[in-house]
Structure 1
Amino acid sequence: MAIGGRVASITLRQAWERYLDAHLIRKNRSEKTIEGYRDHVERIFAEWLDTTLHELATDPARVAKKHDEVTRDNGPYIANGSMRTLRAIYNHARKTNRSLPSDNPADAVDWNVEERRNTGMGSADLKGWFAQLATFDNPIRREFHLFTLLCGSRPTALQEAKPEHIDFRRRTLHIAKPKGGKKKAFDIPLSRQMILCLVRAIRFARHIYPLQAQEWVFPADSASGHLAETKEDREMLSKWGNDLRQNFRTLATAAGVSEVDAKLLMNHAIPGVNAGYITLHKLLEDHLRSQQQAISSAVFDGLGPSTSQEGALRDWLGRGGIRRASQRAASDRKQSVVCQVAQIKEESFWNSAG
């Protein structure tokens, strides 16, 4: 392209490769974040990969039309998200390609309205949610969802929790790679109920997945060895995943926990200058742990006497529940292995006979 010389001929593919390496990988963005960007560029904008950014910038109507098409075919959230990705890649490319027009091509779109889902539970909703969770056959998934509710952290970060990340003496769980990368690593203060949840998960794991349990708190039969997919049928469990983060904020308010403390517990950035003077490790040792305990207590207070009176909840959370569930899980696992071996032997017999 003649305009602006060679630098103006940078294609979307080239700009994406540079953005991926210099901005995402170098800054330790999570794999899930990177895959989100990759999906936008390599799927939504597949036919534009060899188009120059200059062409897109000088034809904003083309970009606006694309946004309309993606909205129709893929939905308003994907359309907005893909255009935010295009905007970020263009801005990054322009830092080293000053001949590119200053107007970002993504500025031409009419953004779709994105409404925040109201997925929070109040105290009155907890009993029904716990009753749903108590029926789960997989005790590790059950403890994972409960722990997500009690701490309000992102599920993807909790999936990679390791036994060595737990400090029972300090009563903390270290989150090594949260959203934002290693530089955003933080410690979650643990309430009594959270500690019991982790203890149950670890014991179940040792019975069901003895090898994977050496590395992960929430192991599974997956390529990574830990829980990787935590979506549930809404009829089986009404709230899961990031729903539970919203629930945490709702329950924190009901427990009298301030907005600042709730954000600190969830590792959210605190706006304003004063936040820079907060000594987090001092808060962690006393104040934040007491606030965490207040939230967990409010959650279990909402259950009333159910944990000692109702069958499924009593088996799960009542006295002796860990021992009973561990024995049941080990028995189910053993029976599953026996059935698999028998099936292999039967197939081998018929193959040899044939």
Structure 2
Amino acid sequence: MNTSTSKPPSPIKQKRKRKSELRLSTSEHKNMKLNKPETVPTTVTTVKPPKSAGVKRKAEKPEGTVENLDYGEKYPILKDQELVCKFLKVQMTNNQKGRIRQAVKESLQGTSSILEPEVIHSKIQSILRNSTNLTDAELRRIRILYNLLKTSLKEQKLSTEGRKPKKPEKTKKKNDGDSPKVKDAAKKVKTEKSEKPDQKPRGPKRYIVFLGNLPLDISKDKIINHFSEMNEQIIDIRIPKSEGKKSAIAYLELSNEPSYEFALSKHHSMLGSKRINVLYTAPKKGKVTKDKAKAKSAKLIALQKSGKLVGSVPLAKKRSQRRLKMKKAQAKAAAIA
């Protein structure tokens, strides 16, 4: 009997078998993965509303506030289209424009931004009132004043918009209780109040100007013509009797501060053949002493000479002063020669 002996497999063959089995298993695993349906991960994106900007919009203010004020009612010249067409037709060079603007700005020197529009408006009205047929020079001046009025109103509006209302300060209440010190202080206040006499309520502020060295044949119409730039602001003119005197006097009452300053700027102006005085007057019932009144009058004259009052021109820029300087220089030159 032939007995067939089976040899055991060599270790090399066993290793190869294992490797082949491993390869098959990995390939099957890969095929299984590929055959599976791909599941795409779906990400839900929620659209968020856009964030509001850092700067918050201001709520629109209703009509009637300072921002939406119709200046046409207060200054009707701004709505006068006929006048605008008239002065736009007149030709004006840059040189003329510069000279007129400089003269107007010098006359407005020292006026506050709040009162400036009123002064400019009164100047335009005085030109329109005095001449029925406007000349080219007058129309050029009105044009410059008109533009200045618009710019001053814009600046005023911007300044009011820029201001923020101040919050009231919170005051901390102290619980002092019924301490003896508090009671004594309250008693003192009560006694002081009872001792003080009842003060009469003061009326509105009055703006009165003294006019001196007037001609003897002076009348209200002549004074109104001389102060034509502030006709609308004149409340009253009082002319006392001047019998047996060389010159007359008068009192001119005005409605507001700019017109009052404008009147004071007419100090030493010529009315007919007289060089008139326009001075500050102290109220009769007031507590202003003579010394204080004189000091205030001197201060106002100094402001007028320096060109700091409304409508005043600096003394150095006046023609009369330039002529005086020239005469003095000529006299010096003649003395040296």
Q: TM-score, normalized by length of structure 2?
A: 0.24
Q: TM-score, normalized by length of structure 1?
A: 0.23
Larger proportion of strand: 2
Larger proportion of helix: 1
